[in-house]
Chains A and B, each alone.
Chain A
Amino acid sequence: MAKVILDFEKPIIELEQKIAEMRKYADNLDISDEIGTLEGKVDQLRSSVYQNLTRWQRVQLARHPDRPYTLDYIQYMIEDFVELHGDRRYADDKAIVGGFGRLDKDTVLILGHQKGRDTKSNIYRNFGMPNPEGYRKALRLMLLATKFGKPIITLLDTPGAYPGLGAEERGQGEAIARNLFEMSHLPVPIIVVVIGEGASGGALGMGIGDRVMMLENSWYSVISPESCSSILWRSWEFKEQAAEALKLTAKDLLEQKIIDRIIPEPMGGAHRDPLIAAATLKRTLIEELKALKKIKPDRLVQLRIEKFSAMGEWKST
């Protein structure tokens, strides 16, 4: 698979390749000193680049085409996964996947947006942009999970709900609104994780939960930086500024008290080591689920509503 390299990743990856090459030819030469120096250099470079990422660079990482998607995480974390399909109303939306599987010892419903890796699979997945039937499939499965008392895990990763003719005709707004309404009072634990892009209502449509977390290099906001730029600046050119203004990173949202926790990614992003990324996510999910299972369903719903009710800032003069 051709690796995609972002501009700011380039110097690091070039250096890494150089070291790998030197190792290969190091058999009959003693160049461990040189390798050591270069490794020190690459470490330094890594921490200077990755600890000072701009918000726009985080957005780029969140969209990295090699980044693990929902089905990757399911494959790495969940045992005996059985995917279920269709909303029983209209269609099966390929931009949202879901089914039951085992997380450690518990059967859970795991749902998420699904992007494609290449043109063909992206068209099949509609670039991870759901139509109303996607949200309705998600709701059908969540009601099923509720019926059988299974916890729900949702993984958010979408550039937005699909803005198409059919989507509007079939009630995109209503489908999302209905999910917010229903998810707010389902009497089972719900854990939400933004794993990539959390774009607006398209993400929030599966985003109400008892714990809301974000991977370190994901973003979550009311609009994408590009669209924000086009509306407020009337040009596509201000996406970097828009990303800064929107304060859309995991750290920002933790400060805004919208999310509960940031899940660390391997140095350089989840795509640099998907297995480690998935292992960390799995550990976190198990830990959070263990705590949530102790709370009675009524109390869970009450706490969930209180949690979202507290969000926002205003003053009553």
Chain B
Amino acid sequence: MAWFKRSKENISSDGQKKDIPDGMWTKCDGCGEIIHKKQLEQNYFTCAKCSYHFRIGSKEYFEILLDHGTFKETEKRMRSLDPLKFVDTKPYAKRIDESIKKTGLHDAVRTGEGEMNGLPLVIACMDFSFIGGSMGSVVGEKISRAADLARKKKKPLLVISSSGGARMQEAALSLMQMAKTSAKIAQLSDAGIPYIAVLADPTAGGVTASFAMLGDVQIAEPSAFIGFAGPRVIKQTIGKDLPKGFQRSEFLLEKGFLDMVVHRKELKQTITKVLQHLNP
């Protein structure tokens, strides 16, 4: 198949984004500024100079978005099985164990109840650090149960997505989580309960093609990658570099797929206002 082998001179490699840094000082990936850890934290893990949003996890989002001490986690210990006994370069079972050890999380999403400026809600937040935030059975089930909880308790649902897409190691079972979560969001919608989708960097593949794009209100963080197909695949298909800013939040806002792009420090106030308007 010759077209797979054609030269890639039109395609330059893209830089990799980094997770939250461990040292006291860190360099901003956006502008190169050296930032102290304390300062970064105070600034919602964004660069004060260029507004670059560092990738953060559920722990940080719950702190940023919820009123102090109100978060009660649900389904805390739910974890993946290895239904297909999947082995690639490494057995999936081992991959899960290692990720649990490394991140202290049980899978790529955490869910629970909490309050936001006094408004009770059900919240789910994905963790990209856990196998690329990929959605397998556990992510699908926890998002679905969060939607059920929101429906039963008549509380709005907030989901913060950050995911590479469906988890390959659970194959068709992962694919079906797209169906399951979307069906649960439809049920929630039919019950008249608001669902706010927040998209963080990156939101891709099967997560974009299911619950992440089904919010009554769609909010994204600045410059987050949001797309169905990955840039590498599209580059291979069209054989040249992608336009600057393609598949970034601002691009999606322009194309009509988001309601707003909101700086992380304004996220809580913005969502609160929206919920105050939508709550019955």
Contact = CB atoms under 8 A, between A and B. Distances in A.
Contacts of A176: 209-210, 228
B172 A258 contact: yes
B45 to A, nearest CB: 26
Given A180-B179, A312-B140, A170 B255 contact: yes
A180 B182 contact: yes
Interface in A221-236: 221-223, 227-228, 231-233, 236
A71 to B, nearest CB: 25
A204 B183 contact: no
B249 to A, nearest CB: 13
A200 B175 contact: yes
A229 to B, nearest CB: 9
A184 B185 CA distance: 10
B78 interface: yes
A146 B64 CA distance: 44
Interface residues of A, number: 58
B87 interface: yes
Q: Give the contact-size bracket for chain B.
A: 35 or more
A51 interface: no
B134 to A, nearest CB: 10
Given A165-B234, A201-B178, A245 B183 contact: no
A168 B229 contact: yes
Contacts of A170: 255
A167 interface: yes
A253 interface: yes
Interface in A258-317: 258, 304-305, 308-309, 311-317
A242 B87 CA distance: 9
A209 to B, nearest CB: 10
Nearest to B255: A169
B217 interface: no
B232 to A, nearest CB: 9
B257 interface: yes
A316 B228 contact: no
Interface of A: 161-165, 167-174, 176-178, 180-182, 184-185, 200-201, 204-205, 207-208, 220-223, 227-228, 231-233, 236, 241-242, 245-248, 252-253, 256, 258, 304-305, 308-309, 311-317
Given A171-B213, A185-B183, A317-B78, 19 more contacts: A164-B234, A168-B229, A168-B246, A172-B209, A172-B227, A173-B213, A176-B209, A176-B210, A177-B210, A177-B213, A180-B182, A184-B186, A200-B175, A207-B179, A231-B168, A232-B88, A236-B4, A305-B186, A312-B138
